Amino acid sequence: MNTLKPKDPLHGITLEKILNELVDFYGWEQLGTMITIKCFTTNPSIKSSLVFLRKTPWARTKVENLYLYMKSQ
């Protein structure tokens, strides 16, 4: 039997996991420089960033793309 791999490389990865890995790898300061959004530059926290990213598709896309780039390195 052939098992198909999902075409979405982010399948099964939560936004919280993505954000935690990016913060661990880059830190808030560099992350805020790479993706200029207020939740990364002013009093950043995982919780406030998750709220913003869940409501803002363009910002979430930027975060997901940066995560994929980080993983490909």
pLDDT at residue 30 tops 80? yes
Does the pTM surpass 0.85? The reply is yes
Please report the sign of the dihedral spanned by the C-alpha atoms of residue 48, residue 50, residue 53, residue 55: negative
Residue 11 Ramachandran class (φ > 0 left, ψ -120 to 50 alpha, else beta):
beta
pLDDT tens digits, 32-60: 999 999 999 999 999 999 999 999 999 99
What domains can you pick out in the chain, each with its CATH number? 15-72 (1.10.720.30)
Give the pLDDT score at 4.
61
Kindly report the length of the chain.
73
